[in-house]
Amino acid sequence: MDSIEKTVIDILKKYTLNPSVWDQYNASFNLTKDLKINSARVVDIILDIEDAYDISISNAEIEQTRSVGQMIALIEKKTS
């Protein structure tokens, strides 16, 4: 697993209440549907990612980021 994916998963794990949601994990997992993350927490996840990578993510970008894979792609784009 590359390091961005690992960092993202570590951040997401703070917001998943039931560890078993990770059992069948793949990068297409949706944050709210598959990982059962409270939708109010998505903004907290974005703040954590902004701090971890010293990047800025717009509201429009947040709206287009629904899966773990999309989140990783966004970070790769912003940090390349």
Partner 1 sequence: MKRRVVISGMGVVAPNGSNLDSFTQSIREGKSGIRKIPELEEKGFRCQVGGVPRLEQEQIEYLASLGLDEHSAYLSYALLAGKDAWLDGGLPVPDPESGESDPQSGIILGTGFAGIDLTGNRLVPAVDSGQLRKIRSDLVEQVMLNAPAALLTRILALGNISFCNSNACATGTDAIIMAYEYVTSGKAARILAGGADGASPYYWALFDSMRILAPNHNHEPERASRPMSATACGFVPAAGAAMLMIEDAETALKRGAKIYAEILGGSMNTGGQRQGGSMTAANPHGIESCIRAAMKASGVKPGDIDLISGHLTATKADASEVALWMKSLDLDRKSFPYIQSLKSMTGHLLGASGAIETLAAALQMSGGFIHPSINCEDLHPSVAEIIPRESIPATCLSYSPRHMIKASFGFGDVNACLVLGQFKA
For residue 78, state whether it binds partner 1 (rule: CB under 8 A). no
End-to-end CA distance of the chain: 18
x/- mask, partner 1, residues 5-24, rule CB under 8 A, reads ----------x-x-------
CB of 2 to partner 1, least distance (A): 27
CB of 58 to partner 1, least distance (A): 15
# residues near partner 1 by CB under 8 A: 9
For residue 40, state whether it binds partner 1 (rule: CB under 8 A). yes
Q: What is the DSSP letter of 35?
A: S
- For residue 38, what are the CA distances in angstroms to 14, 53, 54, 56? 12, 23, 24, 22
Q: Taking a C-beta distance cutoff of 8 angstroms, is the pair 48, 11 a contact?
A: yes
